[in-house]
Amino acid sequence: MIYHHQDHTIDLSKITRLYPAALVRLGEETASVSLEWAAMKEGKITLESYVLICDFDPIGEIPKNRIELPFETKEALFDAMRTISHLVNQAT
């Protein structure tokens, strides 16, 4: 199961954690936060983009092997999640 996004090619079978987030600017740095938190703080935060976070490390370990796929809109993020879900369901 391969998923392509911009310059990333991801083997979905190797992902151990997959989750959506919002990338927000906090002063000079950025942080990924839950979509719910970003929605609650709308107007008080600077939203950089939406991201789909793909971790490849074993569950319970601190994620070091991570790919963050950026999306300009929440709708584009959700479309990608539906596509990935469809690919995974086809493979099972």
Q: Which domain holds residue 16?
A: 2-91
Query: In angstroms, rounded to a whole number, what is the distance separating the alpha carbons of residues 19 and 81?
Result: 9
pLDDT category at 1 given cuts 50, 70, 90 is confident
For 18-70, write each residue's pLDDT tens digit. Answer: 999 999 998 899 999 999 999 999 999 999 999 999 999 999 999 899 999 99
The domain total for the chain is 1
Compute CA distances 57 → 4, 5, 14, 15, whole Å. 20, 20, 9, 8
Q: Which residue has the higher pLDDT, 87 or 73?
A: 73
CB atoms < 10 A from the CB of 77, how many? 21
CA angle, residues 41, 79, 26, in degrees to nearest 5: 25
Compute CA distances 35 → 4, 23, 27, 59, 91, whole Å. 23, 9, 19, 22, 28
What's the whole-model pTM score? Answer: 0.87
pLDDT category at 91 given cuts 50, 70, 90 is confident
Q: Scanning the structure block, which residue is given the tokens 């107007």?
A: 43
